Amino acid sequence: MEPLVPSPGAGKEALATLRILVVGGEGGSAGGLVQNLRQWADDGRLEIDTAPDLPRAVRQLAGQRWDVVLAVLGDRPDDDLPWWVDTLRGANGSPRLIAVAQAPSMGLVLRAEKLGLLDVLSLPLRRDELVRALERLRSVVSETAVPLPLVEPHAVGPYALVGQSPAMLDVYKLLARVAGSSATVLVQGESGTGKEVVARAIHINGPHASGAFVAVNCAAIPENLLESELFGHEKGAFTGAVTRKIGRFEQAGRGTLFLDEIADMSLALQAKILRAVQEREIERVGGGETIPVDVRLIAATNRDLKEAIKQARFREDLYYRLAVVTIRLPTLGERGDDLVLLTAYFVRHFAERYGKRIRAISDRALDLLRAHAWVGNVRELRNVIERAVIVATDETLRAEHLPDELRGEETTLADRPQGGLLTLAEAEARHIARVLAHTNGQIGAAAEILGIHRNTLTRKMKEYGL
């Protein structure tokens, strides 16, 4: 009989006992599940304990460390699943979750995949399915540690420019050419590509370096407050103007003003910015005095400004004032092996901040990072690495330290029954789920991308339980 926990490969250390907490496995639809598990665990490498429900499981998890939580979902598995993931987050030893449900729908499987579950199994539980799930868990022991490469970052204040890819070398060359002048610069690039870091680098290496670098995020500040944030206001100029306020233009005097996400500004405010750029003077809100300003302006956007001009959402005259020099930043995907360098840099950076000693990353973790579609580019990578460093317990950053979403991408739960090949329906369901995720659940937009009528899409979503 096949052992429940797979044998390790030759030369590997003997596997430790896996501790499994079975929740809700006694009585009801799960009848006999715990009994079966106890029988299957007879080979001695599984330790089974039980909890009647989620609250009691949380209590047990607070006291002891478990490798796996096997949760028998109730009548509303789609509603239950996020609760399970949520309440197990931060549990002792970060146990992996296997959900067990009566006839799990395709929607449930896809949701589980997104939430990073180890597996979704159907009732009655089959031994071979459990073996496969545990095999995936045990594959952790076969991860090989890869030493972190050395990185020589270009320090930019509290930030750093990291990367040696051809795309980044082009950026460095342009940056070096433009920094010495006082020219206004427009930095374009997708979210998280490092536009502010580049702006800071220009400032530090330019003639305004002795002045302040003042950054304003135009999209973050409510429209009704942005004008006073930029130009300042006099006391009592409007409700809430409790004191006189010096605006960012003035704060940046003889330094650099960085206007981030400039495309999010209203046309009225764009006109005022244009005046400030042209005349080099401003007026505080509620004040009659004209104040001269001497600042270098750097603007950034993740939008296509030419398209915005066509749609009359951005002033053409302001565009040409700002885009004296344009620097376009590559996405993380366009930067090839920079991903490894950035990973190494962030691991060291956060290890130092959190007092950890991490010298390597596992090959599997690196593969997961390489395979991920980095919508948020470097900012997303930074975020992932920071969280991973916080949960890492030894000198190697492993796949288990990465967020559920990334690990979930590796699992591809729905692939398994057919040994890696999907049925047409499964492939269709997965593609629809992906497109819906892309459109944030907008059925109309998803139907447009898929090239089908929205009623057809609604029907298919119902059919697949999406």
Residue ranges in contact with other proteins by CB under 8 A: 53-55, 57-59, 62, 80, 83, 86-87, 90-91, 190-192, 195-196, 217-223, 225, 242-243, 245, 260-261, 264, 302, 375-377, 379-380, 386-387, 390, 438-445, 448
Cα dihedral: 96, 102, 105, 108 (round 10) = -30
Contact present, 429 and 395 (Cβ < 8 Å): no
Q: How far is the CB of 339 from other proteins (least distance, A)?
A: 16
Q: How far is the CB of 419 from other proteins (least distance, A)?
A: 33
Q: How far apart are CA 207 and CA 420, in angstroms?
A: 59
Can you read off the two tokens belonging to residue 286? 């509620």
Considering the complex, state which of residue 2 and residue 440 has its C-beta at the smaller distance from other proteins. 440
3-state secondary structure at position 362: strand
Tell the smallest beta-carbon distance from residue 242 to other proteins (Å).
Answer: 4
Which C-beta is closer to other proteins: that of 86 or that of 395? 86
Q: Which amino acid is at 308?
A: A
Note whether 408 and 372 are within 8 A (CB): no
State the minimum distance, in angstroms, from the CB of residue 193 to other proteins: 10
For the bound state, the minimum distance from the C-beta of residue 377 to other proteins, rounded and expressed in Å, comes to 7
CB proximity list for 389: less than 8 A, separation 6 or greater: 346, 347, 350, 351, 354, 356, 358, 397, 401
- Rounded CA-CA distance 430/106 in Å is 9
Nearer to other proteins, 195 or 315 (CB): 195
Contact 368, 402 (CB under 8 A): yes
Q: In this structure, what are the phi and psi dihedrals at residue 315, rounded to the nearest 5 degrees?
A: -75, 130
Beta bridge partners of 311: none
Helix (H) or strand (E) holding 273: helix 267-279
CA distance 5 to 47: 11
Nearer to other proteins, 146 or 161 (CB): 161
Rounded to whole angstroms, the Cα distance separating 22 from 52 reads 8
Identify which of residues 141 and 225 has a Cβ nearer to other proteins in the complex.
225
Amino acid (1-letter code) at residue 273: I
Cβ distance to other proteins smaller for residue 57 or 399: 57
**Shortest CB 465 distance to other proteins, Å:** 19
Residue keyed to tokens 């059925």: 443
Amino acid at 420: G
**Residue number, 275 or 387, with CB nearest to other proteins:** 387
CB of 305 vs other proteins, minimal distance in Å = 15
- Nearer to other proteins by Cβ, of 9 and 63: the residue is 63
What is the nearest approach in angstroms of other proteins to the Cβ of residue 139? Answer: 28
